[in-house]
Amino acid sequence: MNNPRKPVVVVTRKLPASVEARMGELFSVELNHDDRPFSRERLAEAMARADVLVPTLTDTIDAQLIEKAGPKLKLIASFSNGIDNVDVDAAARKGITVTNTPNVLTEDTADMTMALVLAVPRRLAEGARLLAGSAPDSWQGWSPTWMLGRRIWGKRLGIVGMGRIGTAVARRAKAFGLSVNYHNRNRVNPETEAELEATYWDSLDQMLARVDIVSVNCPSTPATYHLISARRLALLRPEAYIVNTARGDVIDEAAMIRCLEDDRIAGAGLDVFENEPAINPRLLELAKAGKAVLLPHMGSATLESRIDMGDKVIINIRTFFDGHRPPNRVLPGRI
């Protein structure tokens, strides 16, 4: 580094040991060994004196906190792909650069999305729970009419948000015999569309009315808040399933719960929730009834992705303090 003074870097959560060790070599780093989430006061205190804050998606870095940040704070290098928890506009106004960790978790999150696409119609969680919770002789054996789910092969998938993860989901879905439909802000390039044999729907409403499984893969932004609204949920066919590995607030969760309870849709596979980590108890009841498979936000949770995310954070900090534009800079209005 050109600057002999090591930047003061405050990390809000425990990271993989190799990442923390490398940060210790490069920066004057303050780690969070006990992994307890920072309170708002502790965040404010860290932002008052650090050169760099390394938050993650569970830290809300809003305009109020950013306005009160100390003059040294120049970089918020988030350990996350989604950046909805950081007010990027407020950071830009204050001259603070924001970075995230895209790409390295795309394949893992797409795998988990596909796992949910399979798990709900094929009743995977129900079957596994049945054996895990039962006495050794309580299963009476195979029967032609028992535990029947719905076929995946030949069905229509509708992806909302055909970016990195959406496209990786589409590749997997094609291999499972699903036809790929998508709605996105922009149409993807013709080569990708041809490779995936994907159908683009300019109208989200029309796509929702047509598909068998919806996969939500767009970011949480003011424009996508409750994008899957009560009105749009009503467009889904009663046999349709919905999978969300993006952010909880892209779907009107209360409206989705009513649809599931009233059998107006067939099921849901959810890795994310509107009020994480709180989960609506009615969703837990739906999971018990086999109408929902719920995961505790673990879409990208592999050791490999966490190490790669840590490497990205380090590279973003290093390039910034070497006087270059960090590779994963998030610009206002570009999410």
Ligand X SMILES: O=C(O)C(=O)CO
Residue numbers at the binding site for ligand X (CB under 6 A): 57, 80-82, 105, 300
Residue 26, CA distances (Å) to 47, 54, 326 in order:
20, 14, 16
Select 28 or 192, whichever has its Cβ closest to ligand NAI. 192
**Of residues 135, 130, 133, the one with CA closest to residue 147:** 130
Burial class (CB in 10 A: 0-12, 13-18, 19+), 92: middle
Select 90 or 105, whichever has its Cβ closest to ligand X. 105
Residue 62, CA distances (Å) to 59, 81, 212 in order:
9, 17, 38
Q: How far is the CB of 334 from ligand NAI (least distance, A)?
A: 9
86 DSSP assignment: B
164 binding partner (options ligand X, ligand NAI, none; Cβ < 5 to 8 Å by kind): ligand NAI
Transcribe 281-332 into DSSP letters: HHHHHHHHTTSEEE--S-TT--HHHHHHHHHHHHHHHHHHHTTS--TTBPPT
> Is-catalytic flag, 49?
no
12 binding partner (options ligand X, ligand NAI, none; Cβ < 5 to 8 Å by kind): none
Select 13 or 156, whichever has its Cβ closest to ligand X. 13
Q: How far is the CB of 275 from ligand NAI (least distance, A)?
A: 16
How far is it, in rounded angstroms, from Cα 208 to Cα 331? 31
Dihedral sign, CA of 271, 115, 187, 200? negative
Q: How far is the CB of 104 from ligand NAI (least distance, A)?
A: 10
The residue number with the shortest CB distance to ligand NAI is: 163
CB 314 within 8 A of CB 11: no
Catalytic residue among 22, 276, 282, 285: 276
Locate 89 and state its tokens.
């506009």
Select 130 or 294, whichever has its Cβ closest to ligand X. 294
Interface residues with ligand NAI (CB under 6 A)? 81-82, 102, 105-106, 109, 161-166, 183-186, 217-221, 223-224, 245-247, 271-272, 297, 299-300
218 binding partner (options ligand NAI, ligand X, none; Cβ < 5 to 8 Å by kind): ligand NAI
97 binding partner (options ligand X, ligand NAI, none; Cβ < 5 to 8 Å by kind): none
> Is-catalytic flag, 318?
no
> Is-catalytic flag, 226?
no
Q: How far is the CB of 323 from ligand X (least distance, A)?
A: 27
How far is it, in rounded angstroms, from Cα 40 to Cα 252? 27
Catalytic residue among 232, 247, 253, 274: 247
Q: How far is the CB of 219 from ligand NAI (least distance, A)?
A: 3
Catalytic residue among 13, 22, 297, 318: 297
Q: How far is the CB of 98 from ligand X (least distance, A)?
A: 14
How far is it, in rounded angstroms, from Cα 9 to Cα 46? 9
271 binding partner (options ligand NAI, ligand X, none; Cβ < 5 to 8 Å by kind): ligand NAI
Find the helix or strand (DSSP H, E) in which 200 lies.
Answer: strand 199-200
Select 259 or 293, whichever has its Cβ closest to ligand X. 293
Select 80 or 181, whichever has its Cβ closest to ligand X. 80
How far is it, in rounded angstroms, from Cα 211 to Cα 298? 26
At 150, which amino acid appears? R
Catalytic residues: 247, 276, 297
